[in-house]
Amino acid sequence: MLTHEIEAVLGQLAACWNRMELTAIRELWDPEETEPFYLPEESEVLLDSWEAIEAYWANTKATISRLSMRTWDVRAKLLAPNLAVAVYRMHWNGEVKGYPSPLGGDNRVTATFRRRGETWRFCHYVEAPLAPMLYLRRLYELDVDKDFLKNNT
């Protein structure tokens, strides 16, 4: 039940990113949260104010012409009656202005949610990209000739 409720919020999050309606993401956050924690993979510093988060969303919208995001493998648990934590996988695709080809990547994400009425809302969000070693291994694995894989005897 909890996991399905969190997955519904993540579906709304993905829809905001996919439509490039980044300011609508704020509606998925706890409206009473005064000290949000938001740590996207490409930021070296924690975004810990609404001003900083909204500036990040505005900059993203200014530099990226198209985005998509999807989530899977969601695991959620209650920390308290109105507080939950979730860990999930996320993939993003984006067309960055000035780049000749689209980019994409995988992240692990951990987020904390607070129940407000019947709805779960974000209050803490952290993206954890794979270590470079894991990305490099994936690249090497993807570069194996298909014929080599078929002749694995």
Amino acid at 25: I
Encoded tokens for 61: 């919208």
pLDDT in tens, 4-54: 999 999 999 999 999 999 999 999 999 999 999 999 999 999 999 999 999
Give me the mean pLDDT over the 92-108 stretch.
Answer: 93
Contact criterion met (CB below 8 Å) for 86 and 114: no
Angle (CA) 104-51-97 rounded to 5° is: 30
The topology (CATH level 3) of 2-150 is: Nuclear Transport Factor 2; Chain: A, (3.10.450)
Per DSSP bridges, beta strands 103-116 and 83-96 are antiparallel
51 or 134, which is more confident? 51
Q: DSSP of 55-112, one letter per residue?
A: HHHHHHHHHEEEEEEEEEEEEEEEEETTEEEEEEEEEEEEEETT-SS-EEEEEEEEEE
Tokens 């960055």 identify what position? 96
What is d(CA 89, CA 108) in angstroms, rounded to the nearest whole number?
A: 5
Residue 132: the pLDDT is 82
Other CB atoms within 10 A of residue 76 CB: 21
**Does residue 26 come out as left (phi exceeding 0), alpha (psi in the -120 to 50 range) or beta?**
alpha
| The pLDDT value given to residue 119 | 95
Q: What is the pLDDT of residue 153?
A: 60
User: Model's pTM, two decimal places?
Assistant: 0.87
